Structure 1
Amino acid sequence: MIAATAIAVSVFLAFQVASELLDSELQDNAEDQLRADSRVLATTMEHTGLAQVQLPPYPGSGRLVRVILPDGSTRTPAGQPALPPVSGHAWRVAQGASADLMESNDSDDDGYLIYTLRAGDGAVQVARNNDDSPINRFGLGMLLIGLLCVAGGALVGRTVARTGLAPIDRLTAAAVRVAQTRDLDADIPDEGGGEIRRLIQSINDMLAALRDSRRAQRLLAEDAAHELKTPLTSLRLNVELLIRLDRRGTLDSALPAESRTRLLNDLGAQVAELSTLAAELTDLARGDVSDESTELLDVADVVVAAATRARSRVPDIEVALDVTSVWVGGRPAALQRAVLNLIDNAGKWSPADQPVQVRLRAEGASAVLEVDDAGPGIDAADVPRVFDRFYRAESARALPGSGLGLSIVQRVVDAHAGRVTVARSARGGALLRIILPAAAPPARITLAIAGVDTVAR
């Protein structure tokens, strides 16, 4: 429809312009012919006389002739159709007021183009019909050509549109098939060119990302099921033991107070472990999706808050802080969780008389956070997998934990365009280092109110 409309408008405009040019050209040619015929008749009449000149009979078509005599009368060839009355301007030409005159009379059904030329004591007039038939024939031809062009343009436009949109139709069908079958392994054939090819490639990239996401989700579910199996089995066995002994009425005799206390403590520890594992699984499963907004924050405040939480959760842990103010753009809760996981991990390995050391400083355009302990350190064979989900070194399997803490740390650091590394500390334990891009601190404004200086960030 667009192609047909464009062609129709183009043909209409071309017809208008061509008609005007053709009409102007025909008008100029007719006027030139009338002037030439008038000069020939005027020359003859000046030699013979206006009243005595022999006017040729009217041939039935073509030009018309009229002689204006000095007394105001007129002469016309025999059989010639009557011309419109002599106009006042033409009378003035015959009286010598003007040399010639070109006038058009289109008010009647038969319009005439009349040229008046001074000749002797009068004037001679040569006229012709204002024939619009050439313009009409030209318009009819343009109309037919325009209709053909519009029909052809519509057909060609539809063919081109359908050919160009065929890959889109196939792409739509493939997308519907994927939505119905949930089969993300079927790539859409890369065809077409330009924008269509880029669109297909983008959709294939999206399908690949969805495949990776589904695969990661499946692996997470499998790993979670594996990790939950052991504590759930242990918890169920202990609870079933208590229920069975209670039903038999032998709970007090079969389980002395000391054993019962130890069993209840084990149950509490298993429930706490399950709660921690569930929270870490939830946090890990959310991936990068978070409602927390990014803001400009001082990492020193985040580290202090994480250390406070670590002390409240494990009162026996000792944390030595050596921090300076370093500003970054990030999510405070996510960063605090990452620092807390590092401190908790270090607290598991650090001896009771050795504190976990946490240092924060600025190095160039980076904020560097280091957490080290005085434990046995991480074996070189375990370093490549220390940030994998659910991975626990052979020596760490007897300790509480899920193997998700450091994985969450790496995810948070990656989301903040940073990096995390593992090394051996000077005390022989593990040294985990987080490096984040630093940001310029906010401007500090000093206010003097009622004689009191206040510094505001």
Structure 2
Amino acid sequence: MSRPGGREPRRLTRWWRRRSLRMRMTVIAATAIAASVFVAFQAASELLDGELRNTAENQLRADSRVLATNAESAGLARVQLPPYPGSGRLVRVILPDGSTRTPAGQPALPPVSEQAGRVARGASADLMESKDSDEDGYRIYTLRTGDGAIQVAHAADDSPINRFGLGMLLSGLLCVVGGALVGRAVARTGLAPIDRLTAAAVRVANTRDLDAGIPDEGGGEIRRLIQAINDMLAALRDSRRAQRLLAEDAAHELKTPLTSLRLNIELLVRLDRRGTLDTAISAESRTRLLNDLGAQVAELSTLAAELTDLARGDVSDESAEPLDLADVVVAAATQARSRLPGLEVALDVTSVWVSGRPAALQRAVLNLIDNAGKWSPTDQPVQVRLHAGAGAVVLEVDDAGPGIDATDVPRVFDRFYRADSARALPGSGLGLSIVQRVVHAHGGRATVGRSARGGALLRVDLPAAAPAARLTAGEDTAVR
């Protein structure tokens, strides 16, 4: 069961979060000034009250000494008391027998307190005390004189404090209003770059023009925010440009196999409608044509899968995990042998650990082996070596083919790029591009060179990772 009292803070928090930044800054400025005025008022009131109290007590002491001097010469019973001025100071004499004398017409003071009586009896020299009645408050000073005491009192006057408080209240209200106005002006001035930034972002969103960058202005946080947004726009431009190039290249690559597939199918359909399919095309030609159709369909399927993989980018349901790359390489080699029964793969792999996505890494290794299998002679195996380097894991795949021409090396990993000598071989030109993307996503590097057998040597370097479990002495052995 929820507590009703806990809802109010949440409502207040939600209300506060829904306010604009200008409103927040205005409220914060006004609240800060109001708190400052309140603290200043409290401190000034205490100082003023203490100063007035000290002044009044000093005056009472001075008046008491003057009256005590007269009483010592004339006696307490006969000393002439000053007439009551109508307000302010009040006088009373405490006689030895405990009775009191006051000027004629003077208002009655509170009864003599027990402490004042002890002063009159000689227990102490003087006493300062405050008396609060229902109507008036008095500050009374008692001074031992002769066999009795002299008391001088003054009615407490809070009017200076009240006037001061009223003045501070009015000043505080003016300061709060002024602070709110100043806070709003400061918010408007300080948020002006944000307003311009917002307008520029809205303009980019409405026009879809990612080339229209936001002008760099201001400094500090504003400049960093503008630079971050411009970097984001640049990344979006690059992504859109890459998508457009991918679509254009895909359309170009799909055009040829689709055209060939359509022409062959139309030929078969037209001959079948005429009833001359068996006589117009020999059995050998018909078999070759059907084989071509199957190869073109397989090529289109491969191309579609690779395009889907490239379009997904780094988006994957897989999460990175520590894994033994040797297991991935062995699985990829087994899959390559099943796809190409005549392919021979020689493995020389050592158990090494990396942090990565198993399926993506297996796809990259499979593409490397498939690429090498296209060029390697039937009597020469594709060699796959995996070993640990200096803080890295090194995977090498080489073949005994003709190698890669020096002019083709810079573009080996480009999308849809195929060397002139590879035009007649199956493939879409996307396999090595996928390899490079996967390797880069894992923080590695893919390079191409020439193997000792004269063919191509494709090398992948990946960051090494600590093994998920301690390896036994027999596990770190080469797999042949």
Kindly state the Cα deviation for residue 185 of structure 1 after the two structures are TM-superposed. 1.6
Secondary structure of the residue aligned to 1:57 is coil
Write the letter of the residue equivalent to 1:74: T
Query: Which one is further off, 208-217 or 40-49?
Result: 40-49
Write the letter of the residue equivalent to 2:134: D
Q: Residues 367 and 89 from structure 1, CA distance in 2 versus in 1: closer, same or farther, beyond 3 angstroms?
A: closer
Per-residue CA deviation, residues 341-361 of structure 1 (Å, 9 max, x unaligned), is 111111111112222122222
Query: Which one is further off, 370-379 or 17-26?
Result: 17-26
2:378 matches 1:352:
yes
Query: Which one is further off, 360-369 or 93-102?
Result: 93-102
For residue 388 of structure 1, the aligned residue among 404, 414, 427 is 414
For residue 465 of structure 2, the aligned residue among 392, 415, 439 is 439
Equivalent-residue separation in structure 2 for 1:36 and 1:155 (angstroms): 51
Equivalent-residue separation in structure 2 for 1:38 and 1:24 (angstroms): 21
Aligned length: 449
Kindly state the Cα deviation for residue 72 of structure 1 after the two structures are TM-superposed. 4.2
The residue number in structure 2 matching 1:137 is: 163
Write the letter of the residue equivalent to 1:274: L
Kindly state the Cα deviation for residue 385 of structure 1 after the two structures are TM-superposed. 0.6
Q: Residues 82 and 385 from structure 1, CA distance in 2 versus in 1: closer, same or farther, beyond 3 angstroms?
A: same
The residue number in structure 2 matching 1:125 is: 151
Equivalent-residue separation in structure 2 for 1:439 and 1:74 (angstroms): 101
For residue 321 of structure 1, the aligned residue among 331, 347, 367 is 347
Unaligned runs of 5+ in 1: 447-453
Equivalent-residue separation in structure 2 for 1:324 and 1:92 (angstroms): 105
Secondary structure of the residue aligned to 2:314 is coil
> Map of 1:54-133 to 2, 5 A cutoff?
54-133=80-159
**Is the contact between residue 323 and residue 468 of structure 2 (CA under 8 Å) also seen in structure 1?**
no
Write the letter of the residue equivalent to 2:30: A
Equivalent-residue separation in structure 2 for 1:210 and 1:247 (angstroms): 52
Equivalent-residue separation in structure 1 for 2:393 and 2:111 (angstroms): 106
Write the letter of the residue equivalent to 2:167: G
Equivalent-residue separation in structure 2 for 1:327 and 1:122 (angstroms): 104
**Is the contact between residue 368 and residue 432 of structure 2 (CA under 8 Å) also seen in structure 1?**
yes
Equivalent-residue separation in structure 1 for 2:176 and 2:321 (angstroms): 61
The residue number in structure 1 matching 2:29 is: 3
2:218 matches 1:192:
yes
Write the letter of the residue equivalent to 1:374: A
Unaligned runs of 5+ in 2: 1-26, 476-480
Per-residue CA deviation, residues 235-264 of structure 1 (Å, 9 max, x unaligned), is 000000001101111111110111111100
Write the letter of the residue equivalent to 1:243: V
The residue number in structure 2 matching 1:286 is: 312
The residue number in structure 1 matching 2:365 is: 339
Per-residue CA deviation, residues 143-185 of structure 1 (Å, 9 max, x unaligned), is 1211111111111111111222222222222222322322212
Write the letter of the residue equivalent to 1:362: A
Aligned residues: CA RMSD: 2.0
Write the letter of the residue equivalent to 2:197: L
Equivalent-residue separation in structure 2 for 1:299 and 1:67 (angstroms): 109
2:71 matches 1:45:
yes
The residue number in structure 1 matching 2:9 is: none
Equivalent-residue separation in structure 2 for 1:62 and 1:375 (angstroms): 120
Query: Which one is further off, 70-79 or 194-203?
Result: 70-79
Kindly state the Cα deviation for residue 24 of structure 1 after the two structures are TM-superposed. 1.9
Equivalent-residue separation in structure 1 for 2:57 and 2:101 (angstroms): 22
The residue number in structure 2 matching 1:406 is: 432
Write the letter of the residue equivalent to 1:53: V
Secondary structure of the residue aligned to 2:342 is coil
Secondary structure of the residue aligned to 1:188 is coil
Per-residue CA deviation, residues 62-88 of structure 1 (Å, 9 max, x unaligned), is 322222333444333344333333334
Equivalent-residue separation in structure 2 for 1:98 and 1:328 (angstroms): 93
Moved over 4 A (4+): none
The residue number in structure 2 matching 1:256 is: 282
Equivalent-residue separation in structure 2 for 1:327 and 1:94 (angstroms): 100
The residue number in structure 2 matching 1:450 is: none
The residue number in structure 2 matching 1:449 is: none
Q: Residues 45 and 185 from structure 1, CA distance in 2 versus in 1: closer, same or farther, beyond 3 angstroms?
A: same
Kindly state the Cα deviation for residue 313 of structure 1 after the two structures are TM-superposed. 0.8
Equivalent-residue separation in structure 2 for 1:420 and 1:356 (angstroms): 18
Q: Residues 92 and 427 from structure 1, CA distance in 2 versus in 1: closer, same or farther, beyond 3 angstroms?
A: closer
Kindly state the Cα deviation for residue 439 of structure 1 after the two structures are TM-superposed. 2.2
Q: Residues 107 and 259 from structure 1, CA distance in 2 versus in 1: closer, same or farther, beyond 3 angstroms?
A: same
Secondary structure of the residue aligned to 2:191 is helix
